[in-house]
């Protein structure tokens, strides 16, 4: 007869903690959430069942996963939020367009969108497994039918439930065919909220009939496609439970998910340190309530030791049965048994493994399929080459006005990013507008940008020089999308008025919108027929190169490089 697992270790196996993907404590980007190595090693030795990782390169992630496996001494669930490809979080792997891009494509070319969604899943699963991850916290099954949603937004696969369901199922098939576990999130649907559960508890005021029509179809499709895990949402649905958020609600997790939808896999909470939960419940009480409701794993409790101790005390005090914990532990083991390799099998030494080559061909195909170009006198796929565009952008002097939320939290825009470098090589002086920069706005609602102030800043001119200088063209690049912790979907700024202002002044050389389709839908009808403009759902460097080459920037450099190559040995 197998030995009975100690209660403390059983409780620990149901906790997933956060760690940096980098090896050293000093490298942690978010030390308030990412455990130091000594703490991490202690908890893994005590039986903690999983780790969620963020940070570091693809190569570092491979080393980190091997290290965690050694520290744990048992099969671990090793996961990451790589909704947009592994390269979204770990440089060196493939960074793909946000899923909503394929939702937009689905309305034009359903079969191509579904084919690309399955390849998207395969690419993500293949690279995750190669780097040591066995659990991908995707797909997002929320239907983004509310463009003002600050936290889901372009992370969703579609704005319509039918399209989202089809794309989610295709992604799941591709992902799990590569030997990793998928995770449908955020149950029962976070798409129609105007607040961010990282910051507060959102309210979803819809009745059950509406949930069946909009929120639930993608989750049903993911379950039918065999998704291994489902993640809960921190939101209040009075129609199902007027007292507790979905993560802590037996009506939602047991009644709806388990009994009505028939999901028998592993249920994991969203991060319990998020304000929607932690502002109202302590880490121990939240963990106990989650298991009482029907969750199997608690993700990122604010205090892992407190969560484990509370689960132990709940069993000892009769609030939870040991059998309840055993059932969750068995679901965790069943999920791990789905994997095609032994989770404890050591990875090859890093020097024996070829570096991971990102799938740039797929990444580029997705960019081209999901993007829009207008006013360029050209159509067709492929990176744009010399002679393929219409007038496009001329060389400078000109201003390259770049809008982003926060330059310190923009991994897509390092100092040598194409959005800056390609424009600057053509003589465009870059100006970054972000929350730390001086305000660019004037008091005139009809001319909201203070162009004189921007000219002074961008060209380092003194006031007298400005008066005698011809106004320069402006390339406007807008990096706008919803993201967690930001509290908005990126709106609220008068970019429509800016476009009209620049066009009246004959100063809008070109426009690129990276990210939000909603901003593009607002601005595109305002553009003059001859104004070159591009919309791309992706913000990564490859998307920037594609967009600016579509506008005619960067070709002279490419031609120069080819000529130089003709005279080298």
Q: How far apart are CA 54 and CA 59, in angstroms?
A: 13
- Overall average pLDDT of the 34-39 stretch: 94
Kindly report which listed range (29-43, 135-149, 378-392, 419-433) carries the lowest average pLDDT score.
378-392
Q: Which residue has the tokens 């890093």?
A: 350
Q: Could you tell me the CA-to-CA distances from 340 to 71, 129, 174, 506 in Å, in that order?
A: 22, 10, 15, 61
288 is a domain residue: yes
Lateral strand order in the sheet of 533-536: 372-374, 533-536, 508-515, 474-480, 398-403, 428-433
At which of 308, 324, 352 does a domain end? 352
Domain assignment of residue 254, yes or no: yes
| pLDDT tens-digit readout, 280-306 | 999 999 999 999 999 999 999 999 999
Domain range enclosing 183? 79-352
CB distance 134 to 191 below 8 Å: no
Final residue belonging to a domain, choices 297, 321, 352: 352
Burial of 250 (0-12, 13-18, 19+ CB in 10 A): middle
Asked if residue 289 and residue 402 are part of one domain, the reply reads no
How confident is the model at residue 63, as a pLDDT?
Answer: 92
One-letter-per-residue 3-state SS of 380-432: CCCCCCCCCCCCCCCCCCEEEEEECCCHHHCCCCCCCCHHHHHHHHCCEEEEE
Residues 298 and 425 in one domain: no
Per DSSP (E only), the strands in 285-324 are 298-299
**For every residue of 238-294, which 3-state class applies, written as one string?**
CCCCCCCCHHHCHHHHHHHHHHHCCCCCEEECCCCCCHHHHCCCCHHHHHHHHHHHC
Whole-model pTM over 0.85: yes
Q: What would the pLDDT profile of 202-231 be if each residue is shown by its tens digit?
A: 888 889 999 999 999 999 999 999 999 999
Q: Do residue 278 and residue 379 come from a single domain?
A: no
pLDDT above 60: residue 1: no
Nearest-angstrom CA–CA distance, 115 and 123: 12
For residues 217 and 327, membership in a common domain is answered with yes
Q: Given this model, what pLDDT does residue 52 score?
A: 97
pLDDT at 404: 87
pLDDT tens sequence across 170-191: 999 999 999 999 999 999 998 8
| Burial (CB count <10 Å: 0-12, 13-18, 19+), residue 444 | exposed
* Mean pLDDT confidence for 354-358: 81
First to last CA, the chain: 72
Higher pLDDT, 271 or 455: 271
pLDDT attached to residue 317: 97
For residues 156 and 294, membership in a common domain is answered with: yes
Determine whether 416 is exposed, middle or buried from the number of CB atoms within 10 Å of its CB (0-12, 13-18, 19+): exposed
Quick: pLDDT tens for 235-288. 989 999 999 999 999 999 999 999 999 999 999 999 999 887 888 999 999 999
Q: Are residues 324 and 452 in the same domain?
A: no
Contact by Cβ (8 Å): 279, 236: no
> Is residue 16 situated within a structural domain?
no
Q: Taking 60 as the threshold, does the pLDDT of residue 374 lie above it? A: yes
**221: enclosing H helix or E strand:** helix 217-224
Task: Say if residues 439 and 457 touch (Cβ distance below 8 Å).
Answer: no
In our burial notation (b when 16+ CB lie closer than 10 A, e otherwise), range 133-148 reads bbbbbbbbbbbbbbbb
Q: Is residue 117 part of a domain?
A: yes
Inside any domain, residue 400: yes
Least confident of 118-127, 494-503, 558-567: 558-567
**Rounded to an integer, what distance in angstroms lies between the CA atom of residue 218 and that of residue 221?**
5
Q: Which range among 2-16, 347-361, 408-422 shows the weakest confidence by mean pLDDT?
A: 347-361
pLDDT range class, residue 465, cuts 50, 70, 90? very low
The DSSP H or E segment spanning 18 is strand 15-20
Q: Say whether both 409 and 281 belong to one domain.
A: no
CATH of the domain at 454: 3.40.50.10870
**Reduced to 3 states, what is the DSSP secondary structure of residue 85?**
strand
* Domain end among 321, 352, 383: 352
pLDDT of 390 reads: 36
Q: CA-to-CA distance for 213 and 162, rounded, in angstroms?
A: 9
Shared domain check, 375 and 342: no
The domain that contains 105 carries what CATH number?
3.20.20.300
Mean residue pLDDT of the chain comes to 87
Q: What does the alpha-carbon distance between residue 309 and residue 303 come to, in Å, rounded to a whole number?
A: 10
Q: Is residue 439 in a domain?
A: yes
pLDDT recorded at residue 377: 53
- Cα–Cα distance, 81 to 270 (Å, whole number): 11
Tell me how many domains the chain contains.
2
Considering the domain architecture, whether residues 118 and 256 belong to the same structural domain is answered as yes
Strands 533-536 and 372-374: antiparallel
Pairing of strands 77-80, 50-54: parallel
Q: How confident is the model at residue 110 (pLDDT cuts 50, 70, 90)?
A: very high
Write down the pLDDT at residue 354: 66
User: Any idea which residues carry the catalytic annotation?
Assistant: 198, 270
pLDDT of the residue at 503: 94
**Do 205 and 321 lie in a common domain?**
yes
Both tokens of residue 257? 């998910």
Short-list 189, 185, 213, 216, CA closest to 202: 189
22 within domain boundaries: no
In a domain, 559, yes or no: yes
- Whether pLDDT at 349 is above 60: no
Tell me: do 397 and 295 sit in the same domain. Answer: no
| Contacts of 525 by beta carbon, 8 Å cutoff, 6+ apart | none
Q: What angle do CA 515, 517, 520 make, to 5 degrees?
A: 100
Burial group, residue 569, by CB count within 10 angstroms (0-12, 13-18, 19+): exposed
Statement to judge: residues 269 and 417 lie in one domain: no
- On the question of pLDDT at 65 being above 70, the answer is yes
Most confident of 80-89, 374-383, 408-417, 468-477: 80-89
Number of other residues whose CB lies within 10 A of the CB of residue 502: 21
> What pLDDT score does 33 carry?
85
């Amino acid at each position: 007869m197998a030995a009975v697992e100690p209660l403390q270790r059983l409780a620990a196996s149901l906790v997933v903690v956060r760690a940096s993907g980098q090896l050293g404590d000093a490298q942690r980007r978010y030390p308030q959430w990412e455990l130091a190595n000594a703490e991490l090693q202690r908890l893994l030795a005590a039986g903690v069942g999983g780790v969620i990782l963020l940070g570091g390169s693809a190569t570092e992630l491979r080393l980190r996963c091997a290290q965690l496996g050694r520290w744990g001494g048992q099969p671990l669930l090793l996961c990451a939020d790589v909704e947009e490809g592994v390269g979204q979080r770990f440089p060196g792997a493939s960074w793909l367009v946000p899923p909503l891009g394929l939702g937009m494509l689905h309305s034009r070319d359903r079969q191509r969108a579904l084919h690309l969604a399955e390849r998207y899943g395969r690419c993500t699963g293949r690279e995750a497994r190669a780097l040591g991850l066995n659990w991908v916290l995707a797909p997002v099954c929320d239907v983004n039918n509310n463009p003002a949603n600050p936290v889901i937004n372009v992370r969703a696969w579609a704005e319509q439930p039918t399209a989202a369901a089809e794309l989610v199922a295709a992604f799941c098939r591709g992902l799990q065919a590569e030997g990793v576990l998928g995770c449908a999130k955020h149950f029962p649907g976070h798409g129609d909220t105007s607040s961010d559960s990282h910051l507060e508890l959102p309210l979803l005021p819809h009745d059950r009939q509406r949930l069946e029509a909009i929120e639930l179809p993608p989750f049903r499709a993911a379950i039918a496609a065999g998704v291994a895990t489902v993640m809960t949402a921190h939101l209040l649905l009075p129609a199902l439970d007027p007292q507790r958020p979905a993560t802590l609600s037996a009506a939602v997790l047991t009644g709806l998910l388990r009994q009505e939808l028939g999901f028998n896999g592993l249920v994991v909470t969203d991060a319990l340190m998020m304000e929607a939960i932690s502002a109202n419940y302590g880490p121990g009480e939240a963990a106990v309530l989650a298991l009482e409701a029907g969750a199997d794993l608690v993700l990122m409790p604010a205090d892992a030791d407190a969560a484990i101790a509370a689960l132990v005390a709940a069993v000892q005090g009769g609030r939870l049965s040991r059998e309840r914990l055993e059932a969750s532990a068995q679901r965790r083991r069943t999920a791990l048994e789905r994997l095609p390799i032994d989770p404890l099998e050591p990875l090859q030494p890093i020097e024996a493994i070829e570096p991971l080559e990102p799938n740039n061909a797929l990444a580029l195909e997705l960019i081209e399929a999901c993007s829009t170009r207008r006013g360029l006198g050209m159509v067709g796929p492929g990176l744009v080459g010399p002679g393929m565009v219409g007038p496009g952008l001329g060389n400078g002097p000109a201003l390259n006005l770049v809008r982003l939320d926060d330059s310190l939290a923009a991994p897509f825009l390092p100092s040598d990013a194409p959005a800056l470098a390609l424009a600057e090589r053509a003589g465009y002086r870059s100006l970054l507008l972000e929350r730390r920069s001086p305000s660019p706005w004037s008091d005139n609602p009809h001319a909201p940008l203070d162009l004189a102030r921007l000219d002074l800043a961008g060209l380092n001119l003194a006031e007298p020089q400005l008066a005698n200088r011809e106004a320069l063209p402006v390339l406007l690049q807008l990096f706008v999308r919803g993201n967690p912790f930001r509290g908005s979907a990126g709106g609220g700024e008068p970019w429509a008025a800016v476009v009209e202002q620049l066009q009246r002044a004959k100063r809008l050389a070109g426009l690129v919108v990276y990210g939000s389709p909603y901003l593009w839908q607002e601005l595109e009808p305002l553009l003059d027929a001859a104004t070159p403009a591009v919309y791309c759902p992706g913000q990564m460097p490859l998307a920037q190169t594609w967009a600016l080459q579509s506008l005619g920037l960067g070709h002279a450099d490419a031609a120069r490089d080819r000529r130089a190559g003709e005279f080298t040995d």
